Structure 1
């Protein structure tokens, strides 16, 4: 059998170092799927069949997050292509390199409103705006693949190649002819070392040296520079807050790390920003400016690899465009150690008190289980070098606050898009990328019913391939779309609307057992410690189905008058759970003042 265009695509991807593709089949990519099979037989690639194209895109995004390599997903024409979009937007907004391959109807039918014919170039023009093209000639395919991968890596973004089904079956392209219009592309890219100009580094150092109360905010872009962030924080006597995507950029057991910032953040992070006179932002595009210092309060320096992202969240005085690690290495020799450590000592003392507050909150009774206690007990048991994913919603609240990351641990979630449903796909991708590591997914019951249960089928299909079976899906089973319920109460002053917020009870643990996985149902707080130990040491992937109280409030680090007014309004309007809500809110508020 002669090689086809599809075979050429797989060979070219192999040259680029792509060794795994996530996808779901369909007649729009039949030829490409057949080539994937042949490439897999030859040991060139591993194909992971997902239950839904959205999961394929989430997994490709997660693959890029966990490994730093380009993620690849594929889907058929029409509806399959549409289903990729949410996961691809997750990758785009979190700056992850992902290449999507999608099928299209035969070239001769395009423009006829043929079945499943969609204007895919227009559809993908936003999510893959840096590069989206449709192949119409086999001789195009070489440079389409090369440019799609190269641009995805260099721009840390999503690209897309559209493949009409008839073109996929044609003979593999020979080298382009030596004539006008031919393109001879190649494989490979090296990311350059980017460091700011010396004069800008000196200006930044002068500003930071003058500050008396320095705050540092880091994001995912600082993940490659933990030692440098630690060193400059020590020199400046600064506390370090973390944007949610940067939770694993620095361990939480360092005494000057204040934890997360924002609505899901901590009291020490709020104090750090509220009282500082100088701000250093490293590798972060944290969007909520209301949690940064007031305009004019602090002088500010920002470090980011992209010039387009500096000065967009706070009026910075010095912008350093460069890699976080290399820029800090160049900046640190210019920084003078601050002898007055009173600011640092104040922040560290508040951090100590905050952890006591969190433990106090976690140990409060609830009906039946306090979700904070589940996360608090899990935090004490986290395996070394584990990987954690969190879904959006209330699961992200406790992920942000109650889990104390140690050195070597990884964690991520949907940051800028904050979409539901990536928790389980992220975890599956982590096990494929690092099959020897323990992985934990933290998921609400809303996301579990939306897409997570389907992910369990994929886990059941593949888990015996992994070097270790240690994968736990922790489901907060509160029968409520809890984050939105609290947003309705606190942001708009409306009571809980059960028609939109109540989630059907589902036997997640029992369903896991039906699939050949392990299921653990927990509805008694006295069983938490024992069952967590059991789940973390199981001989197969586990669904940990824990019944939690939806009325435990995700208390913000600072309650604004408008939020308090809206909360009272929701009560007065007849919230169906008002009594339980008042009781739980009161318990957490008094824990602020009693230890």
Structure 2
């Protein structure tokens, strides 16, 4: 006789699920046994439930489908929280199926009994349900998936152990029994015509327009460039939007914010028109001053319109379709691209080169391109700055020419994200993901594993610091060692920037508190990452010479097995925010470094050198 667990596994298959990430335990064992019996689902065992949750989130980010995770009750369930919040804050659909003690024991302070509904009430606010009877199962699973997809958020299903083992239900057609069906089709969401017309008026009146592009533009890369060209605009991106703009374009100014580029900071400070596309970045001090720029915002989620900056027009809609509709109405658009059912807009005065609404617009595009070229020179000089022994920016600069359109990048959280944002120019087609809004350390290797499983034919590069690796990454190298022999394509590189320091926090202490680095909280124990990889049957390479970086990347990406590339880097390389905001932080940073005595002198010298690159 089939059980409730068998029915759930079958339903997951009908939803297109072929992989589930998790860790077993007595509270979920009946469900795990059903997975084993089916032969249809691949159970990916992580070393820790938190890593399993990150894998499910990574699966969703790289594949565009729902990531599914599972755990037992009590501690296993608690460990899932970090990954679930990662999904919630980055707007990613995942479903968690979590075990619970038998219904008859609940409320008795039983072994590993935790009030799971209270625990998950915030993170799974869009859908959270305990299955109380077998008859609920199809409906609850279906609603969990639809809620996750419709709201791009986590859904949690709590499954008591006795319900898991119960007989699969046969649903009669009677009162109190609900029949459900599998399936979800995303709607076509486009703004009202009047709103589009108002947006065109605002954008066409701008003399110094800028596009600010976020992850919501994932499917609108061509449209973003076309609108920027039509407006004579520059483009900046959020951290999560970086993979969706080709930064080799002369008007692509790179990532904004604390870890961003000087070009993005200067252009945002000068623009008088702002088109936000699928972006809800929280670094509001880097936005134009309120009232400086007339803003139009495009987002599929109406709740974020005007969330970070006062907008003149909010356009609720799919990014690609909305941009295409705007492009068809802009004065520079070809006549045959405009919908036949709507009148053409009144002609606007344009410059001879067609790049703006008045004679200043052409010079704005020239200004954008000068700022971009200037920033690229700053980035080049930074990567070439000598450090002891290796400048971490040089590691990423050396990787840049080895990236191809098929590369999948996974980022851990820490200073490595700064160097990624500033030194890598991602070819069209590269997917790169990080724990964005939650910014949780330890996500790098789990994300990388999920990326490889989602598309085993593509090479994966994980960029991590020694802090993130010691937190979760080292354990998941064990998972990597277990899994890679099954892969036809073994290209998987974990690059560890090893500086013995929680560098991002060390620089935050100096920047935000004018405080010296606190060794007790910031020092990391030495760990032989490359040697550890070798002990697991992986390849390990240790680099402490900047001239060896290019060969190391080439060899790692051509290796016959996954490779851990341990690069010994200098903790003193500063995490200086882009100017002009960064200039305001110099004094507090120097005050903190001065209190470190001789140990802060090298960092102070590098800080001054980096600042000199920024100044005109």
* TM-score bracket for this pair, using the shorter chain length: over 0.9
Alpha-carbon distance in structure 2 between the residues aligned to 1:560 and 1:475: 27
- Preserved contact between residue 493 and residue 566 of structure 1 (Cα < 8 Å): yes
Q: More displaced, 573-582 or 452-461?
A: 573-582
Give the deviation of 1:354 after TM superposition.
Answer: 1.1
C-alpha deviation, 1:568, in angstroms: 2.5
- 1:210 aligned partner: 205
In 1: Cα distance, 2:528 partner to 2:582 partner: 39
What does residue 63 of structure 2 align with? 67
Residue 125 of structure 2 corresponds to which residue in structure 1? 129
Report the aligned-residue RMSD: 1.2
Contact 2:244 2:428 in 1 (8 A): no
The whole-number CA distance in structure 1 between the counterparts of 2:553 and 2:449 is: 20
Correspondences of 1:233-244 after superposition (within 5 Å) = 233-244=228-239
1:165-224 Cα shifts (integer Å, max 9, x gaps)? 11111111112x222221111110111000000000000001100100001100000010
8 Å contact kept, 1:216–1:280? yes
1:587 to partner: Cα distance = 2.5
Instruction: Deviation per CA, 1:50-96: give whole Å up to 9, x if none.
Output: 11101111111111111110000000010000000001100111000
Give the 3 Å change call, closer, same or farther, for CA 575–400 of structure 1 in structure 2: farther
Gaps in structure 1 of 5+ consecutive residues = none
Equivalent residue, structure 2, for 1:156? 152
Q: Report if aligned partners of 1:392, 1:413 keep a CA contact under 8 Å in 2.
A: yes
Partner of 2:251: 256
Q: CA deviation at 1:333?
A: 1.2
The question of 1:7 aligning with 2:11 is answered no
Give runs of aligned pairs for residues 408-557 of structure 1, distance below 5 A.
408-557=429-578
SS of the residue corresponding to residue 316 of structure 1 reads coil
Could you tell me whether the CA contact under 8 Å between 2:100 and 2:160 is conserved in 1?
Answer: yes
Indicate conservation of the 8 Å contact 2:262/2:614, yes or no. no
1:214-363 to structure 2, matched below 5 A, reads: 214-337=209-332, 338-339=355-356, 340-363=361-384
Q: Secondary structure at 1:48's aligned position in 2?
A: strand
Q: Following TM superposition, by how much is the alpha carbon of 1:575 offset from its aligned partner in structure 2, in angstroms? A: 5.0
Aligned-partner Cα distance in 1 for 2:169–2:193: 49
Aligned to 2:414: 393
Q: TM-score, normalised by structure 1?
A: 0.97
Q: Distance in 2 between matches of 1:575 and 1:27?
A: 55
Instruction: Give distance in 1, aligned partners of 2:23 and 2:131.
Output: 21
Secondary structure at the aligned position of 2:484 is classed as helix
TM-score (norm. length: structure 2)? 0.94
Say which SS state the counterpart of residue 28 (structure 2) adopts. Answer: helix
Which runs of 4 or more aligned residues in structure 1 lie more than 4 Å from their structure 2 counterparts after TM superposition?
none
Per-residue CA distance 1:263-284 (angstroms, 9 max, x = gap)? 0010110111100000000001
Q: How many residues align structurally?
A: 589
What is residue 339 of structure 2 aligned with on the other side? none
How far apart, in 2, do the equivalents of 1:336 and 1:377 lie?
43
Give the equivalent residue in structure 2 for 1:381: 402
**Where does residue 146 of structure 1 map in the other structure?**
142
What corresponds to 2:192 in structure 1?
197
Deviations 1:225-269 (Å, cap 9, x if unpaired)? Answer: 011100000010001001001111111111111000000010110
Judge which range, 572-581 or 200-209, deviates more.
Answer: 572-581
Deviation per residue, 1:449-493 (Å, 9 max, x gap): 000001100101111222311110000000000000000001100
Residue 560 of structure 1 and its aligned partner are, at CA, apart by 5.0
3-state SS of 2:68 partner: strand
1:125 is paired with a residue of what secondary structure? Answer: coil
Cα distance in 1 between the residues matched to 2:599 and 2:36: 54
Rounded to whole Å, the distance in 1 between the matches of 2:73 and 2:527 is 33
5+ residue gaps in structure 2?
333-354
Paired residues of 1:551 and 1:577 also in contact (CA < 8 A): no
Whether the aligned pair in 2 keeps the contact of 1:205 and 1:334 (CA below 8 Å) is yes
